[in-house]
């Protein structure tokens, strides 16, 4: 008998639309394969919905703040119902770009150098600090957003203008800009699932390049790397997955430049939309969409 699945999607983060799309695609595939499926949002009625529906497994399809940062995972752990993807601590660490970078550095994983910029504390002499530690251009990004939301590539002329756009975050990362190839790696449990290279027509692989079909980002599988480099990038992704304590599926984002792989970040709840990368990598590895979803559901547990 097939399990009852409750999909939680939507939410209040800036990735709400993508989360709804992930929830819709997963629900459609499960229903097509005769699963009992219900979908809900993580609002005030969440616990009421869980208790009335009594699911066997909760599929966490949330992205961004409150869904991918340990917050919803803390609530789900109180229900003693298996849920998908990473648990409280791993989700919290992976979502915090500064903490995850500190862990990468501790474990000798190459990642772009950075400065944490705190508004009202660091505003003076920030140009000098960037020149001394990073050089221009730099990447400015929120510490705890996903999907490249509010990420800017900045030069000396526009850095202050772009920093002003992000004052509501109170603190952001200013990171050295690494040119080169955009390569992503998917990990499934302890298995190196595969890689994909992205060639965006835009300045970089930003929100539009990820989710707007009109952006026409080129997806390349297989990735043109030597066997040695292919093994190296997948080993780095698996190492990051393990040291952070991730469960289920993750996707790690890399830049490849001058023969070196720079790990930008690790995503604990990759999208499952029509343009999402993990289903595409899985498909190339011989795992279709329903098989991928079923693996994620089977991997779910009460305490992540």
CATH code for the domain of 38: 3.40.50.20
Active site residue 294: no
**284 belongs to a structural domain:** yes
Contact 233, 225 (CB under 8 A): yes
206 and 159 in a common domain: no
pLDDT at 154: 87
| Neighbouring-strand partners of residue 118 | 171
Contact 139, 151 (CB under 8 A): yes
- Widest Cα–Cα separation across the chain: 64
**304 belongs to a structural domain:** no
Its domain, for residue 50, covers 4-84
Q: Which of 41, 69, 271, 280 is catalytic?
A: 271
Residue 278, number of CB atoms within 10 A of its CB: 25
Active site residue 181: no
Contact 172, 164 (CB under 8 A): no
Active site residue 206: no
The model's pTM is: 0.89
Q: What's the distance, CA 248 to chain centroid?
A: 13
pLDDT-wise least confident of 56-60, 67-71, 82-86: 67-71
Q: Which of 86, 147, 150, 252 is catalytic?
A: 147
- Residue where one domain finishes, among candidates 124, 156, 176: 176
163 and 15 in a common domain: no
Q: How many CA atoms are closer than 13 Å to the CA of 7, on its beta-carbon side?
A: 25
Q: Which of 83, 114, 152, 211 is catalytic?
A: 211
Q: Which of 267, 280, 294, 304 is catalytic?
A: 267
10 and 77 in a common domain: yes
No. of helices (H) and no. of strands (E), the chain: 11, 12
Residue 296, number of CB atoms within 10 A of its CB: 22
In this predicted structure, the answer to whether residue 220 has a pLDDT above a threshold of 80 is yes
d(CA 263, CA 261): 6
d(CA 229, CA 235): 10
Could you tell me the two tokens for 234?
């997948």
In this predicted structure, the answer to whether residue 244 has a pLDDT above a threshold of 80 is yes
**122 belongs to a structural domain:** yes
d(CA 281, CA 237): 14
Radius of gyration (C-alpha) of the chain in whole angstroms: 19
Count of domains for the chain: 3
In this predicted structure, the answer to whether residue 114 has a pLDDT above a threshold of 60 is yes
103 and 247 in a common domain: yes
Active site residue 271: yes
Could you tell me the two tokens for 208?
């539009």
195 and 103 in a common domain: yes
267 and 156 in a common domain: no
Active site residue 251: yes
Tens digit of each residue's pLDDT (9 = 90 or more) over 160-198: 888 888 877 778 899 999 999 999 999 999 999 999 999
251 and 106 in a common domain: yes
Q: Which of 10, 11, 13, 15 is catalytic?
A: 15
118 and 8 in a common domain: no
Q: Which of 29, 69, 175, 265 is catalytic?
A: 265
Active site residue 267: yes
pLDDT at 92: 95
Q: Which of 41, 175, 253, 280 is catalytic?
A: 253
Active site residue 276: no
């Amino acid at each position: 008998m097939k399990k009852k699945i409750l999909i939680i999607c939507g939410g209040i983060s800036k990735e709400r639309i993508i989360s709804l799309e992930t929830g819709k695609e997963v629900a459609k595939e499960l229903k097509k394969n005769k699963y009992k499926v219900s979908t809900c949002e993580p609002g005030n009625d969440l616990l009421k919905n869980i208790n009335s529906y009594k699911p066997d497994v909760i599929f966490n399809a949330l992205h961004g703040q409150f869904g991918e940062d340990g917050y919803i995972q803390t609530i789900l752990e109180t229900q003693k119902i298996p849920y998908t993807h990473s648990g409280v601590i791993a989700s919290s660490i992976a979502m915090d770009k500064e903490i995850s970078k500190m862990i990468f550095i501790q474990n000798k994983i190459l990642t772009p150098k950075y400065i944490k910029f705190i508004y009202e504390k660091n505003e003076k002499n920030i140009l000098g600090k960037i020149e001394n530690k990073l050089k221009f251009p730099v990447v400015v990004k929120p510490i705890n957003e996903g999907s490249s939301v509010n990420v800017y590539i900045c030069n000396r002329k526009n850095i202050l203008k772009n920093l002003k756009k992000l004052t509501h975050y109170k603190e952001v990362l200013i990171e050295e800009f690494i040119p080169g190839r955009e390569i992503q790696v998917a990990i499934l449990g302890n298995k190196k699932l595969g890689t994909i290279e992205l060639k965006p027509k835009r300045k970089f692989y930003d929100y539009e390049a990820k989710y707007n079909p009109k952006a026409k980002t080129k997806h390349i599988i297989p990735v043109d790397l030597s066997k040695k480099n292919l093994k190296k990038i997948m080993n780095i992704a698996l190492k990051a997955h393990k040291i952070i304590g991730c469960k289920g599926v993750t996707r790690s984002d890399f830049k490849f430049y001058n023969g070196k792989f720079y790990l930008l970040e690790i995503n604990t709840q990759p999208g499952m939309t029509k343009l999402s990368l993990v289903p595409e990598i899985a498909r190339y590895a011989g795992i279709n969409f329903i098989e991928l979803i079923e693996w994620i559901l089977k991997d779910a547990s009460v305490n992540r």
